[in-house]
Amino acid sequence: DQQVKQNSPSLSVQEGRISILNCDYTNSMFDYFLWYKKYPAEGPTFLISISSIKDKNEDGRFTVFLNKSAKHLSLHIVPSQPGDSAVYFCAASPETESYSGAGSYQLTFGKGTKLSVIP
Amino acid sequence: DAGVTQSPTHLIKTRGQQVTLRCSPKSGHDTVSWYQQALGQGPQFIFQYYEEEERQRGNFPDRFSGHQFPNYSSELNVNALLLGDSALYLCASSLDRESYEQYFGPGTRLTVT
């Protein structure tokens, strides 16, 4: 049972345009969400995060939107650059240790979306 | 400032053997988590170490065990290797147990034949 779903395995975008990566989750106990970027032969690199008390968080060209009622979040990259080409993982964590079956701060990842930015 | 380092980079083992993977956390970090990433999948949480004790564990059998040393470095041990254990093993460190933001190493690619 996948608790974090990234339904698009891949996405191609022209340089300078907007990239939108989507993520859905099923576990209502998730309270904190993160996006990681992964280049080949490297470990995932933290990109941006959002707490469930917010619906938007910005950091430069990257913005994450959270729709808690729909259990959906998205990552917007504007403008997209060729160096953004990588696999992007959505991750989620419950906030408290009281959640049965998972400890706090334990990340559950989606399968990833491979973004290709075409020059 | 050194990031998270892992050794070895690649490893080939035979089914039934045992393997030890090593991780040094980012400078100043005291919590280490281990993840398994199978091909085409996202990283899956194995366990987390803090103050030299296993604090949290994911849905992995007892064949997977670990250790954290006083200098915060960590080892992941897998006994009685199965073909299905072939994966990229990622180590992540964080500032403390209550930090969501984890910093990952490049991983160890384990192949079981």
Min Cα distance B86 → chain A (Å) is 16
Taking CA atoms, B38 is separated from A35, A53, A107, B87, B108, in Å, by 19, 33, 16, 5, 12
Is residue B49 packed enough to be buried (19+ CB in 10 Å), middle (13-18) or exposed (0-12)?
buried
CATH of the domain at B39: 2.60.40.10
Measured between CB atoms, does A44 come within 8 Å of chain B? yes
CATH 2.60.40.10 fits A4-97+107-118, yes or no: yes
Instruction: Name which of A43, A46, A103 is nearest B55 (Cβ-Cβ).
Output: A103
Percentage of the residues of chain A whose pLDDT score is greater than 90: 76
What is the predicted pLDDT for the residue at A99?
A: 42
Closest-CA residue of B relative to A97 is B56
Q: Which two tokens stand for residue A48?
A: 């941006």
Confidence of residue A2 (pLDDT cuts 50, 70, 90): confident
Q: In total, how many domains does chain B have?
A: 1
Task: Dump pLDDT digits (tens) for B33-82.
Answer: 999 999 989 999 999 998 899 988 999 999 999 999 999 999 999 999 99
Task: Read off the pLDDT of residues B21-43 as tens digits, 9 standing for 90 and up.
Answer: 999 999 989 999 999 999 989 99
Q: Three-state DSSP class for A109?
A: strand
The pair of structure tokens assigned to A109 is 């990842």
Per-residue pLDDT, B2: 75
CB contact under 8 A, A89 and B98: no
- Average pLDDT for A31-57: 92
Q: How confident is the model over A59-106, as pLDDT tens digits?
A: 999 999 999 999 999 999 999 999 999 999 999 988 655 444 334 568
Question: Rounded to a whole number, what is the distance in Å from the CA of A10 to chain B's nearest CA?
Answer: 12
Domain limits for position B31: 5-112
